[in-house]
Amino acid sequence: MLTLQFIPYAEIQGLSSGRRTKKLLDAAKQNKIVLLQGRLTKQEEADLIQKTMEQIDDKFKGIELSVIAPGNMDGAWHEKVKQQLLSLLMGDREGFTIIGPATIVKEIRKDPHKIQLLMKDKRKR
């Protein structure tokens, strides 16, 4: 059975960077596909990759990660300022982050208009 876990931004808002990435990685290691409201900072994304690498072994092969950012950053300057102010005050709750274990999610294909989660053939896992 495939589990999709939704994590609202409020659930990670008060956590330190280290605990945020740990929470996401722990869920992926339990073979869950995580749908996080909002996004990590770029530094946290890099930390998540580092922590993932530290934990790779014969069973855990890593993660597939994709961030779907809002597409309104090409708008007028006052829209960009508004977005950045909101991010500063409320956190990066715009968009979604998808994280799945590499043993289940083969690839996340993304272009500006669509996202495709390609799953691994169960017999090959």
Partner 1 sequence: MIGIIRRFINKFFNGLFKKKKHIKLGLYGPPNGGKTTLANRICKDWLGEEMGKVSNIPHETREIQIKEQIVIKSGGKELSFNLVDTPGIATKIDYEDFLKSGMKEKEAKIRAKEATKGVIDAIRWLDDMDLVIVVLDATADPYSQVNITIIGNLQARDIPVLLVGNKVDLKRAKLKRVQSAFPQYNLVGISAKYGNSMEEFYEALFKIAS
Nearer to partner 1, 2 or 10 (CB): 2
CB 88, min distance to partner 1, A: 15
Options 1, 53, 88, 89; binder of partner 1; rule CB under 8 A: 53
Residue 104 as a binder of partner 1 (CB under 8 A): the answer is no
Q: Assess 62 for contact with partner 1 (CB under 8 A).
A: yes
SS3 30: coil
Q: What is the DSSP secondary structure assignment for residue 71, as one 8-state letter?
A: G
3-state secondary structure 92-106: CCCCEEEEEECCCEE
Alpha helices, H only, 3-41: 10-13, 17-29
- Residues forming the site for partner 1 (CB under 8 A): 41-43, 45-46, 49-50, 52-54, 56, 58, 61-67, 102, 108-111
